[in-house]
Amino acid sequence: MTTTPRRARAPRQSDVARLAGVSQSAVSRVIGGDTDAARIPEATVRRIQEAIKELGYVPNPTARKLRTGRNRLLGVHTFEAVFPRAREDFYLEFLLGIEERAEEIDHDLVLFTSTGGTDGRRRVYRDGVNRLNVADGAVLLGVAADRAELARLEADGYPFVHIGRREVPGTRITCVVPDYESAAAAIVDRLADLGHTRIGYLSAGIDEESYADRRRGYESAVARRGLHDVSPAGPPGPGGAPDPAWLDTVLGGTADRLTAVVADAEWLAHPFAEALAARGLAVPRDVSVAVLEGVAPDAAVRWDCLQIPRREVGRLAIDTLVGLLDEPGTPVADVLVECVVVEGETVTAPAGTQGRTE
Amino acid sequence: MTTTPRRARAPRQSDVARLAGVSQSAVSRVIGGDTDAARIPEATVRRIQEAIKELGYVPNPTARKLRTGRNRLLGVHTFEAVFPRAREDFYLEFLLGIEERAEEIDHDLVLFTSTGGTDGRRRVYRDGVNRLNVADGAVLLGVAADRAELARLEADGYPFVHIGRREVPGTRITCVVPDYESAAAAIVDRLADLGHTRIGYLSAGIDEESYADRRRGYESAVARRGLHDVSPAGPPGPGGAPDPAWLDTVLGGTADRLTAVVADAEWLAHPFAEALAARGLAVPRDVSVAVLEGVAPDAAVRWDCLQIPRREVGRLAIDTLVGLLDEPGTPVADVLVECVVVEGETVTAPAGTQGRTE
DNA sequence: CCTGTCCGCTCATACGTATGAGCACGAACG
DNA sequence: CGTTCGTGCTCATACGTATGAGCGGACAGG
């Protein structure tokens, strides 16, 4: 086995050109594959290709990027460090989809890590420098997304896609989001189909788009189906505990009692079920409960819940981003990904009704 | 809140220069911070800085890279997809260290994903293109590292560091590795200190550098301490089971019986202990056992083992790589990271000796 | 013989930045 | 008044590629 001597400098197109006895642009044309447009005959193409092989020429992606504006690099910016969080399913599933799809369409990922500010939170701009520029575009994710930075990014004309809906004052940005609104509506529809008429919404009390989406879906479906909404007025108590006064009201009479609730999260559904148990009531016998988020299948209670298509969201984020790159003028619009409603053991027909039993 | 209109084109230094009434090079000098060398007075510096702010100029990293060869991007190439494997502690810990250190020294990571070949394995070169070139250098990791590719990379003069020792025919590459050799020697020393004189080595029978390192450390320490090496001759049986004939030999007589073994891995130590139990012998009462790899602290048996400093290896890989970039002529050498010996419950003084008891 | 067309390329330039060399000007000095 | 020196910049170029425009020659048609 012979050792190739370490090269002083990487060969470039002009080196290839000299060896093949043509001009640099001819080499570029052969590499770019537009030999027809440039009318390079096959014999010359072969000669150039041999020179390429002989010198071991590889194109310089940086120069390409400078010239064409593309380098098949897609950025991933998280507002927290990626790898510690990669453990958690939340992030990981998105990243899986992102990596998978990027690989399929032959792009590399740039993981932006260096944007950590002194306050521990990450920012896109630091020292006025947008590091994202090395990539053709970026996928941003992370709950802590700074709206001002998103606005500036958009104003700067940088192509990016945000995972999770994020409303930014002054602009619209492209988001890829689980369709919580439809999912919440579907769950209400299911409850209505089963015969529930008085239902409530256990809100997380978090002022964030994804929760607003759920709420909107709930409310529109409740209105459409003509149900009675008997949700608690305020936010949950510590630990997600429901308001006792509210419980008294909606569980008091037997005739007009609440028979089902929809909860933003498992940590709300759980204390609610416990409060019921303390009053001698059971889920789902007395009250049905559905959760508007994904719940681990090995959880203690097999909640009726959603299955958030995180992986698919990641994949679609990549596709949407590349679409943005290919057609820069595209009007921004949210991309919705359907959530599957998972049937568990916490929703049934209300007592005294004959629900379908299978 | 006013919406900044979406810009047609990003401003460049020449735009700033025009606004400030200077030349592009003056702007570059101010940005580069070498205002002293270029003798730009403070007043002009301020004027330029204001122009920068007004236009919202941000440097173009691609152009910088083309000019200087650096863009503060470090590649991470794994020979398998990163994120699915990020779950496992093996990869994750390296990546944690890599990300952490990269962030500290203000570099971003490029995750190479698109290098998947049709055979499912990833390669650095595909279609003759070295994608790694977008980054200043790269950290490679993954058991499946292709030696031929490593050789070519080295021959091409691409700066990279490999995590885990990898011998490449024809060249030497820079590796960052846990110091298995010293760790194995330390463990043998500890056994010798406790009074063991006849010990054996349970080899995984895997022909790979890290195992060779362990073996070397073991053998040199055994020789240095004048111990009797009674290791089995062949590789382990299915499931890691020790050779019964060998067991008969080394456990037969009582006087010259083997009193300790060192195992490459837990999956070797475990069947060995079971084989002992089947003969009415116990660990560590009759035979001490040490494992030359990291063992989860919540494992059934608290083995005496190593703690592989994966995180530190990741961090050091980054530092080594950057060192390579700053001083291109540096001769390559392995970078060793010390392994901590973890005392468990499977090593003690041999029976009939008075070991230190605390 | 003149004109037009097609072939096989090349020329020139732009992308945005960094940097060694050097220029014009004013002040100080002899 | 001539020379030197320091100041405050600018000029020119290189990094490696892609691409619209164009040029010289061959050949065909009139």
Of B175, B77, B166, nearest in space to B124 by CA: B77
Does the pLDDT of residue A85 top 90, yes or no? no
**CB-based contact A70:A98 (threshold 8 Å):** no
Give dist(CA B146, CA A160) in Å, integer. 35
Residue keyed to tokens 């592009």: B24
Give DSSP secondary structure letters for A41-78.
-HHHHHHHHHHHHHHT----HHHHHHHHS--SEEEEEE
Q: Which residues of B touch A108 (CB under 8 A)?
A: 110-114, 131, 134
Residue A23, CB, less than 7 Å from strand C?
A: yes
Give dist(CA A291, CA B121) in Å, integer. 41
User: Considering the domain A73-173, what is its CATH architecture?
Assistant: 3-Layer(aba) Sandwich (3.40)
Considering Cα of B289, then B291, then B292, then B298, what sign does the dihedral take? negative
Which 189-248 residues of chain B touch chain A by CB within 8 A?
none
Contacts of B14 (CB under 8 A, 6+ apart): B24, B27
Question: Looking at CA atoms only, how far is residue B65 from chain A in angstroms?
Answer: 7
In terms of residues, how long is chain A? 358
Residue whose Cα is closest to the C1' of D20: A38
User: Considering the domain B180-307, what is its CATH architecture?
Assistant: 3-Layer(aba) Sandwich (3.40)
A191 alpha carbon, distance to own chain's centre: 28
Rg from Cα positions in chain B: 28
Contacts of B173 (CB under 8 A, 6+ apart): B150, B153, B154, B160, B162, B166, B332
Q: In this structure, are strands B340-342 and B304-307 parallel, antiparallel, or unpaired?
A: antiparallel
pLDDT per residue as tens digits for the range A178-236: 999 999 999 999 999 999 999 999 999 888 899 999 999 999 999 999 999 999 988 88
**CB-based contact B170:B150 (threshold 8 Å):** no
Give dist(CA B280, CA B254) in Å, integer. 14
Burial class from Cβ neighbours inside 10 Å (0-12, 13-18, 19+) for residue B195 reads middle
Task: Answer whether B62 sits within 8 Å of A108, measured CB to CB.
Answer: no
Helix (H) or strand (E) holding A215: helix A209-225
Cα atoms in the Cβ-side hemisphere of radius 13 Å centred on B334 = 17
- Residue B273 structure tokens: 């202990």
Q: Which nucleotide is nearest to B15 (CA to C1')?
A: C16
Does the pLDDT of residue B218 top 90, yes or no? yes
Give dist(CA B157, CA A8) in Å, integer. 8
Task: Answer whether B109 sits within 8 Å of A107, measured CB to CB.
Answer: no
> DSSP letter at A207?
-
Does the pLDDT of residue B355 top 50, yes or no? no
Q: Where are the alpha helices (DSSP H) in chain B?
A: 13-20, 24-32, 42-55, 61-68, 82-86, 89-104, 147-155, 180-194, 209-225, 244-252, 266-278, 310-326
Task: Count other Cβ atoms within 10 Å, centred on residue A322.
Answer: 20
- Residue A302 structure tokens: 């097999």
Give dist(CA B345, CA B289) in Å, integer. 9
- A57-76 mean pLDDT: 90
Does the pLDDT of residue B257 top 80, yes or no? yes
- Write down the pLDDT at residue B6: 59
Does the pLDDT of residue B3 top 60, yes or no? no
Q: Which residues of A touch B155 (CB under 8 A)?
A: 3-7
Which 37-66 residues of chain B touch chain A by CB within 8 A?
52-53, 56-63, 65-66
Task: Answer whether A10 sits within 8 Å of B108, measured CB to CB.
Answer: no
The SS3 assignment for A173 reads: coil
Confidence of residue A79 (pLDDT cuts 50, 70, 90): confident
- Write down the pLDDT at residue B1: 44
Tell me which chain B residue has its CA closest to the CA of residue A154.
Answer: B6
User: What does strand D contact on the protein, if contact means CB under 7 A?
Assistant: A 9-10, 12-14, 24-25, 28-29, 31-32, 34, 38, 57, 59-60, 63-64, 66-68; B 21-26, 29, 38-41, 43-44, 63, 66-67
In chain B, which residues fall in CATH 3.40.50.2300? 73-173, 180-307
Tell me which chain A residue has its CA closest to the CA of residue B92.
Answer: A83
In chain A, which residues fall in CATH 3.40.50.2300? 73-173, 180-309
In terms of residues, how long is chain B? 358
**E-state strands within A142-190:** 160-163, 175-178
Q: Which residues of B touch A68 (CB under 8 A)?
A: none
Phi and psi for B109 in degrees, rounded to 5? -110, 135
When the candidates are 2.60.120.10, 3.40.1160.10, 3.40.50.2300, 1.10.287.130, the CATH number that belongs to A180-309 is 3.40.50.2300
pLDDT per residue as tens digits for the range B107-148: 888 887 655 555 555 665 655 456 678 889 999 987 766 788
Give dist(CA A260, CA A269) in Å, integer. 11
The SS3 assignment for B119 reads: coil
Cα atoms in the Cβ-side hemisphere of radius 13 Å centred on B47 = 13
**Least confident window among A125-134, A250-259, A306-315, B33-42:** A125-134
For residue B133, give the nearest of A60, A87, A129 by CB distance: A60
- Write down the pLDDT at residue B358: 43
Give dist(CA B78, CA B112) in Å, integer. 7
The per-residue b/e assignment along B152-178, b for 16 or more CB within 10 angstroms, e otherwise, is bbbbbebbbbbbbbbebeebebbbbbb
- B258-266 mean pLDDT: 93
- Write down the pLDDT at residue A90: 75
Contacts of A331 (CB under 8 A, 6+ apart): none
Confidence of residue B239 (pLDDT cuts 50, 70, 90): confident
Phi and psi for A215 in degrees, rounded to 5? -60, -45
For residue B170, give the nearest of A1, A108, A128 by CB distance: A1
SS3 content of chain A, % helix, strand, coil (to 5): 40, 15, 45
- Write down the pLDDT at residue B147: 83
**Least confident window among A225-229, B35-39, B175-179:** B35-39
pLDDT per residue as tens digits for the range B312-351: 999 999 999 999 998 877 777 899 999 999 999 999 998 7
Give dist(CA A220, CA B280) in Å, integer. 73
In chain B, which residues from 39 to 78 place their CB closer than 7 Å to nucleic acid strand C? 57, 59-60, 63-64, 66-68
- B298-305 mean pLDDT: 90
Give dist(CA A235, CA B19) in Å, integer. 54
**Peptide bond preceding A309 in cis form (omega within 30 of 0):** no
From residue A250, give the alpha-carbon distance in Å to each of A199, A232, A352: 9, 9, 17
Give dist(CA B199, CA B217) in Å, integer. 14
Residue A165, CB, less than 7 Å from strand C?
A: no
Give dist(CA A122, CA A142) in Å, integer. 10
- Write down the pLDDT at residue A115: 54
Phi and psi for A324 in degrees, rounded to 5? -60, -40
- Write down the pLDDT at residue A321: 94
Helix (H) or strand (E) holding A97: helix A89-104
